[in-house]
Structure 1
Amino acid sequence: MSFSFEIEPTINGESIAYFRIMRPEMRNAVNYDVMSGLEEFLDRIEDDPEISFAVISGEGNLAFCSGGDLSDFHGFQTAEDAWPMLSRGAKILYRIATLPMPTIALINGAAVGGGCELATACDYRLVASHAKAGFIQGTLAITSGWGGATLLFEKNSPHDQLLQLTSRASVHSADKLKELGWATEVYNGDADAALDQFLAPMLKVHRNVHRAYKSIATRKWQANNLREAMQEEARVCSVLWESDAHHEAVQRFLTKNK
């Protein structure tokens, strides 16, 4: 199984939903099976009023998520080939971003490419001190394709630092991510303990309060046509996907990593 999810009650009667990518041998890269798992997870929790928080993580300590699995996706040659996968990814991230309950990315390792987009879709990002993250899609001559850059600019500031975060196509340390405002907190040691410590004060507040504040954000995003903007980001990526520059960059990457 390439993913798992569960809903666990807390001692004070709240419930927390957990989704974990379980492909450590592939650095928790997203393939079609993980996409289906995320959709199933979202179907299960979207309308459940008892859930206080949703947590997304990756198996192991090396990677939260290394983005899209090129072994599944590198065969796309044209914009038309790439569009269904990119559009589907953007729809999934939009659903994560607009869940009625707050979401937490528990970043226990590298979050790069689409993995950085996935984490950006969440409301909070708890980043292990050894972890690194970055919008590295530019190294493959494409942009982010699942709406992650749209979410980044919608949620965070300042503009110039965010533009560097995307356009330099490099990875950044946990401390730098905290400085940029992308990381909510940087933790040392056990990820589950860090999550418990982060959630403890918020679990003292009724879930309806958290949901009410979340709805304020989502109303703003809906007014700004966030869904359409994320789909446009996917469309732009699909156009770049069919370029010779992208195909050559992917071939170099696959050759280097054989």
Structure 2
Amino acid sequence: MSQLHLHLNGPLAELRLDNPAKMNAFTVAMLRQLEGHCDLIDNRPEVRAVLVTAEGPKAFCTGADIGAWGGLSPAEFSRHWVRDGHRIFDRLARLSKPTIAVLQGHAFGGGLELAAACDLRVMAPKATLALPEAGVGIVPGWSGTQRLARLIPEPVLKEMALFGRRIGAERAHALGFVAEVSETPREVAEEIAARLAKTSPRATEVAKYMIHAAVGEDRGAMVEALGSGMIAASDDRAEGVAAFLEKRKPEFPGT
């Protein structure tokens, strides 16, 4: 049974965590489902925005299910659990569509890393953020020390990762990590997403790539995506393809 659902409703897609019995903690199956859903979303041109939500009022996601990784050997843990999770969260971060995390409840560990992989975050007033990994003898492994270091100040990140301190919604908002704090975070997220109906889909996509290139979010891939988009629209590209198919030398117009 799926514990991470994809709902498509015209221009709005929703990725919904559905493991409330374990505070929406991630399992191996959920990681695989997230990866597949991201691939599908990127191939649906009608989708303009993606909400990342979760079942239950208490927790957005409390990280990774200890039952999923606690018995792994050191090699399995580092090579597969950590690297696969990191790659899949990167996949979410690099979606061509804008993403909004709806934090109706607490986001700890991998849950905070999931929220960080989204473009915007809307948070309920009583929700909190934490990196509790040191308390169970591990460290953040799905970008908690890397992507988060670009999104919140280093001293605050150290408070969380080294000392286990929780960050409340108002402080997260003051730091710029959260776009808005609201008793109805989903409604606010939907209102933000609805504004995309008045913008150019292509311009939004390219702007996201440009910002990611500037802040180092897979800079090489973003630069190549931008360059490839430019060349794909050129007469030179059309001539090169035509010449190859017609088995002749190309005559590039330079436009």
Q: TM-score range by the shorter chain?
A: 0.7 to 0.9
Determine whether 1:159 maps to 2:154: yes
> Match of 1:20, SS?
strand
Counterpart pick for 1:218 among 182, 197, 212? 212
Displacement of 1:82 in angstroms is: 4.1
Alignment of 1:10-29 (within 5 A): 15-29=11-25
How many residues get paired? 219
In the alignment, which residue of structure 2 is the partner of 1:187?
182
Deviation at residue 50 of structure 1 after TM alignment: 2.5
Q: Say yes or no: does 1:62 pair with 2:58.
A: yes
Aligned partner letter, 2:40: R
Deviations 1:192-244 (A, max 9, x none): 32222333434322322221210102334233789xxxxxxxxxxxxxxxxxx
Q: What is the letter of the counterpart of residue 125 of structure 2?
A: S
Match of 1:256 in 2: none
Query: How many angstroms does 1:108 deviate by?
Result: 1.0
For the pair shown, the structure with the greater C-alpha radius of gyration is: 2
Give SS of 1:51's match.
Answer: coil
Structure 1 contact 53–101 (Cα < 8 Å) conserved: yes
Question: Which residue number corresponds to residue 198 of structure 1?
Answer: 192
Cα displacement (A) at 1:157: 4.4
> How far does residue 83 in structure 1 lie from its aligned partner after superposition?
2.6
Quote the offset at 1:29 in angstroms: 0.5
The match for 2:103 is: 107
Could you tell me which runs of 5 or more consecutive residues in structure 2 were left unpaired when the two chains were aligned. Answer: 223-255
Aligned equivalents of 1:114, 1:214: Cα separation in 2: 23
1:75 and 1:157, CA in 2 relative to 1: closer, same or farther beyond 3 A? closer
Measure the CA separation in 2 of the matches of 1:225 and 1:196.
Answer: 29
Distance 1:168 1:183 in 2: 22
RMSD across aligned C-alpha pairs, in angstroms?
2.0
1:236 equivalent in structure 2: none
Give the counterpart of 2:144 among 143, 148, 158.
Answer: 148
Q: Where does the alignment leave 5 or more consecutive residues of structure 1 unmatched?
A: 10-14, 227-258
> Partner residue of 2:165?
170
| 1:40-65 deviation per Cα after TM superposition (whole angstroms, max 9, x unaligned) | 10120123332211111111111111
Query: What percent identity do the matched residue pairs reach?
Result: 27
TM-score of the two chains, using structure 1 as the length reference: 0.78
Match of 2:116 in 1: 120
- Tell me the residue number matched to 2:250: none
Contact kept in structure 1, 2:109 and 2:144, CA below 8 Å: no
In the other structure, the counterpart of 1:51 is 47
Q: What TM-score, normalized by structure 2, do the two folds share? A: 0.79
Q: Is the 8 A contact 1:76 1:82 kept in 2?
A: no
Partner letter of residue 176 of structure 1? R
| Residue 38 of structure 1 pairs with residue 34 of structure 2 | yes
